């Protein structure tokens, strides 16, 4: 569980998908799919979820001052798979 996240730089993962579930607060994410060039945003509030597939670039654009985000990686997170 990540707590009180702030803006972060875009990154992507080649090995795993991520599921983001907002436990507290709200957040705005930006996504980029290099396969088709599509860019989109998602605003998530309490109890909302988004799935980020392998290879999708993602970053936090905005987050409420107090927030908690449950992050599930499938397969499990590996620190060597964090690509700018």
Q: Are strands 17-24 and 2-3 parallel, antiparallel or unpaired?
A: unpaired
Strands of the 68-74 sheet, one edge to the other: 2-3, 68-74, 17-24, 49-52
Question: pLDDT band for position 24 (50/70/90)?
Answer: very high
Element (H, E) at 40: strand 38-44
Q: What is the pLDDT of residues 41-59, one digit of tens each?
A: 999 999 999 999 999 999 9
HSE value, Cβ hemisphere, 13 Å, CA-based, for 14: 4
Q: Which CATH superfamily is domain 2-81 in?
A: Jelly Rolls (2.60.120.10)
Mean model confidence pLDDT for the chain: 97
């Amino acid at each position: 569980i990540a707590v009180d996240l702030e803006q972060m730089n875009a990154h992507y993962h080649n090995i795993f998908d991520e599921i983001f579930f907002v436990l507290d607060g709200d957040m705005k994410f930006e996504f980029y799919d290099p396969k088709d060039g599509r860019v989109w945003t998602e605003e998530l509030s309490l109890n909302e979820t988004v799935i980020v597939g392998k290879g999708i670039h993602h970053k936090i654009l905005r987050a409420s001052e107090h927030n908690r985000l449950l992050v599930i990686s499938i397969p499990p997170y590996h620190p060597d798979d964090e690509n700018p």
